[in-house]
Structure 1
Amino acid sequence: MALMLGATYILSKKSVLLFAHTLLFFFFIWEGVSQDFSNLSEEDRWKIRSQSYVLVDIDRIDDSNLSFLTQGESPLAVYILEFKEDYLPVLKELMAKKSDLLILSGANHNRVIFPENKAQLVPFNVVDTILRDSKTTSKDILHFTAEGELNLVTVNDKEAVRDSVLVKFWRTTGRLPNLIQGDPENFIFIDSIVQGLNQIKRVFGTVTSKGRLLDGVGFKNHSDLRVNGNFSFPILSKGELPVFIPHKAGFYFSPDIIRTTSDNSGNLKEFVGFPLDPEYGLTDYFSFSPTIKNNIRKNNRELIVNKVDLFEDRSRGKVGYFNNGAYMDAGLDSRMALQSSFTISAWIKPTVLGKNNSILGKGENFVLKLHDGFLTFTMADIKDYISRTSPVPLNEWTQVALVHSKLNSDLSFFINGVQTDKIQLIEDYDTSDYNLVVGSNLWQEFFVGYMDYIKIWNRELNPDEIRDEFLDASPEESYGIFKFIISIIMVVVVPLIALYFWNKRKGKNKVLNHPAYTKVGEVRKTTVVQEISACQEKILCFGPLKIIVADGTDIAKKLSPKLKQLFLIVMLHSVGSKKGISTKKLTEYLWPGMTPSSAKNTRGTNIQNLRAILADSTTIQLVFREKNWFLEVAEDCYWEYQEVLHYLNIFGKEDIGVGQREGGLRKLLGILKEERFLANIEDDWLDPFVERLSNDILDLCQEVALLLNLEEHISLLQDLVSVMHIYDDLNETALQLRLQILIKQGNLSTAHSIYDKFTKLYNKLYGEKYPIKFEELISAS
């Protein structure tokens, strides 16, 4: 019987009856037959993932080979396409001799509760077949990409697959061959292969992001390797213990390196990936409106502009026009651009397509150009990497992008946000210390046409980031129509606009004379809380820091790590009744150990830079008042941190009404359940603020949990549990509520799984068994 993994199995009426009869037979005739793979704890699933099994088709088992199969040394797995009553005696015999028997099947027995666990049921959908028949060569097996949790190799010919090939596959792909299938007559041969695999020491781990397995992850010291979440490697006697340095474009990892030792080789290697901010690593951003400038380096005086004209384009506004030998030299600072891995994105509209038209050039080793209209990367005296699948049309705006991966030594080409090609370099890219030139190169292969939004990153962007970059910068409306609308607006509503800003300035003058914040001890008279939708500008602190100004720009992306620290420490000392932070205290926090003169200069420069960035906001100002640095935030700016403190304060009052409590609680939990306070920012000085806020949040959650009713407030309680878990993943109240909610929803198996994970984590952290039983938690009121 051929193994049909991944095929959809549709039950006929007859099959349904047989399936129901089978379930009854399993439940009443012999207890504890199987436990479904999906319901196992992660630890138990790893026990299966990290070893190999001999897989035998149950239809090939008979009296002549049954006893022979049970005498093998290797773990055994049985494949069942469709359950038949005739299989029961065979399975009973196998389970009596093989305590760790796997049953590979499409049947679903997970609704039956068995008191014991004599066999594990593995569904088809978690298994990938690596090698289907003897026609597949040993070389083919090394180029297989699997996505399932377990891998299967079919061995129909002893010469087709040898253990050395399987070990090589394991080593080069990070995936252990789990199920080795063959005919019973080849059992001795297959059993020896499986024994050999299981005797090899191994190291294993997982890569996740946002609680899910992360696919397409490479390791910097394992060339061409890509894993999809779970991985495993053999530790060979002659080889060094592996070092894991995860890598995926668009992500950073924590931890970012793990070195295997004899002491930790048996531990699960766990990596967590976090998406990078889209502007992380952005070193250059050239724009042409209203003037030609580099928005990142701020070295506009160094730019040497030769014959580049500014042109009003109907679809993009003001752009650069290159003709008659026009080019732009990016200055001395640009010599540091395009080091190692990099990404380039540019909007171009060529009006002439010659033999070669350069978009960017930097010395001999870097030229991005159009060659006969095709996007091309050139390294002098080495090669023109011409992408024949990346044509750029004449007289049309097109986004072109190029990504160089140092790790993979390859180039990826993109047109309008879509990857069109990937080319392997024949020689590693080597940077140069020449200036970056826009519109020309060392051979004076000038670009003719229009350019806009030229961006350079010192990292790889992934395809999703390139697509987002294309969508963000794409012209969505005709610029001519836009100008027409603006003209109408100026004529019709300009008096109203002037009146509005005149009134607003009057209000703002009051704000500047008095701190524009609500003290923690005060309750607003007009409204309980700001409505975020009513505020154009926002300071968001739960999750990554975001400072959104009126035009929708997040100016927090412009802050360097030190400027972000400066903003936060002043902000935290400006909320509620706090009066700001002194210069001395600020220096102790951010520049300890510096001489007074050095600290003064560094502090002054950073404050000046922060004020320049905050100038884009009309509601947020950094001021020096009464010998303290203070962040003034106008009342029409939504300040998330202040709102949370405000709620924590009013919920502590005994006279607050039930309706007000419930309405406010929904808004508060809506903020808190997304992410931790200032996620991804770790500084020693920040810890006391985070700890104090975390304790206040948990205290409130504990109090609210006693007041809410499971029948009436299940949605609120679910949010409450999510918040408590974010700030304390071993919170017993959160565990109890979560179990009670799951059981009320009929998810008993999920509740058991959650409890098991909690107890294992408890044991791991405290070195002792969790004292409260599952039944006690769910029955407690």
Structure 2
Amino acid sequence: MLRIFSRKSILVICFTAIVLLVNTVNAQHLSSNSYLIGDFENAKEAINYFEEDKSDYNIGFSIHINYALDSNELYVESSDSYVTFQQYVEALKVYLDKNPSKVVPLFINYEGPENWLKQVLNKANLDDYCFFLPAGEKWPNLEEIRDTGKRLIIFSFHQTNDEDKIINYAWDHIAEFPFTNFDSPIFEGYYSNGKPENELLLLRHFEKSNIEKSKIDESWLNLSENNFSILHAIKCWQLCGKRPNFIMVEGKHIRKIYYLNYVLRDFPSISGVVSYRNKPLEQVFWENKVKAITNGYYSFPVVEDEAPVLRPYQHGYSFRPSNIQVTEEYLKKGVINFTAFPLSLDEELTGAFTFNGKINNLIKPASSTKNFKCEFAKDIVKGEVLKFQDSSYAVFGIPDDFGIRKSSFTISLNIKLSELDLENDYFLIGANEKEYRKSLHVNIRKGIPYFGFYGSDVSVYKKLEPSKWYNLVVRYDIKNQEQSIFINGKQHGSSTGHPSYIGESELMLGRGFIQEGHLSGYIDDLYIWNRALSNNEIKTVFSDGVKVEKKNNLVFIFLTLITLVVLALVILMVVRRRRSVKFQTTRVKSFKTSEILGSKINTITLFGGFRVYDKHGKDITLKFPPKIKELFLIILLYSVKSTRGISSQKITNIIWHGFSTKKASNNRSVSFNKLRSAISDIEGISINFESGYWKITWNESFICDYLRVSSILKQLDKSRPEKYKELFQYVKSGKFLENSNWEWLEEFQTSINFDVVDALNDYALTLDELKEQAQAFEVYTLVIKIDDLNEQALQYIVSYLKSKESQTRARYYYDKFCEKYFEAYDEKYHIEFQDLI
């Protein structure tokens, strides 16, 4: 979503914003505005600013207050002048009286007694000007604040106990974006100060100390030389989903970056609430081009030449809508809300071991397990449990049995240590591999739980005691690469930045990659999910346990026989009706575009990203972890390319290259079983194997945009403009499989994207000839989104925007194109902006 500006276009934006300022901000909320907060080293300069400023800019101030022992008074820290706090607030009062429309934030850094501050404010008759908001309340709009007559908002960086309701504690309302560096801000969901749910955002990046630390030249202030400050502020906004409300800047520079104030305020954006039971969620992840982390309230900048897709994600929830493409219509509304629905606890449960006399997976009874001298014991609390002593251990499967490789997952188990070994590790779960990312381990070291993939661990500070039962849960979330440890339903440790687990060796209970690390103790109720459970779900696992119906073998055999009989009858019926119901690999029934796009039932979309919906319209994309997704796509795309599909050997060479024959065969078998399971709830599609070739067949019940686009491209004819319109409706979500980058896929992506671009160029030319320039412009903006070096699209877009007197947007498209052009060819684009007509 990051918008890149040129020097000239920034100047145009700033000029336009200044001209239109007066009548645009009155009804806006404080959280919808951006304030420059001047920190003047010389306090007299601040007072001079009060006297000289006649602008309508959103400006605030920051001061450091100290106590002078010799004069027994508060003063404002200053480099080369002495100004009392009394003098400062008196000048500030005059400033407020001169500017009755201004709402002014004042940040104070002061650690002394509060009553001294209040005495000064009272003496200056400024306490009646101070607006106070209790912690946790949402900020009103600026007009409401003005109506109270309290237009000074004082924020203290130090905790206050203000019964007089004059001074707000900053970190009750504001979150401070962590400063990392200017070139590439980093945000992992944590703030330097304040809570994630706080409504307002503070940036300190432009303070003198951070500028000097980063050795940034003062040219960053000059728009005629660069637009660094805007890019940086918008990038921070983009990452945390909060508009920068307060931007600290050295006081002497404040006039030079007034423009930042309005560019941020007027920047196109979308906002809303993600809620569960009408309450905002505490944390939400967003699967956009730039992955963001917000609380339940969010705000994102939006670029005109993109139609971003908002897709919220949080452990343990599905969302309605599951995703939204931000169109012009949504931008006009400015608000999109999402509702969260909790998943069932058995959703994606892939392993369940209760150890009632057996080591078997109740979810998948046929899975391979091995017992090496483990015994079953009767525990007074848990009943029958698995006992480990004298180097005993058990194998409970391989990673692919549970779908935890390259995927999110959660593992829960109850444990009791017989004794506490202060020298060696106790492995609860381990693997024989001893390589980075390949050795899954959950172990106890000197009583402290650890969890990781070898060289990539998280631990906790809580020490486990012998002879006590604990519910231990480890969770890995691939979305934000987070490892977490929970003890008795409570999160005790978490860290991000951990790449996913990729090991393949057997998983063991009571043993790990260190041979001496055998467990002495007991394990009960092992459960595995190939998704990240929510914190509330983990609390439920601890408090209520997990209910899994055990499969009765006789019933299972009986049901299997019934299923086989029914299957035989179905096959017979299919054979007889083969002529009337034709499954095909390259043709699809012609539907009305509106019907297809309006329904998500039995649908898979590939343009703009990979999404899967079952026969009920439920988003089941999470059932396709990376390897299963790749397997599905390679069969689907080759099924369209060739009526035979793709050979089993070619699939193996691509996906399991370098594996031994036996290992590749085992992995292939497991993956195909998972793929069949994943598509079992999608009607109208099946996977077939014939004469050594795999292919996907489908009928009219199944909807896939790629299949329809492939068909439309073969039918295009300028005498049938409705086909071009239908094509546009299918592909407007974005590039084909935009976020997938397997080497084998590049051929398909290049081919379909080029074909689509050629067709869209023809469509846009036809629209232009029909004098439908607005629609042609919409088509060309999609073209340049797919092919960012398409000169035909650039020339039309710039020409169209110039004709609409939108020089700013025209310049933006041109500069962005030039930047991409230079990156690709290492030379400047040969046509100047003014020459594009």
TM-score (norm. length: structure 1): 0.46
Higher relative contact order (CA 8 A, sep 6+): 2
**TM-score if structure 2 supplies the norm length?**
0.44
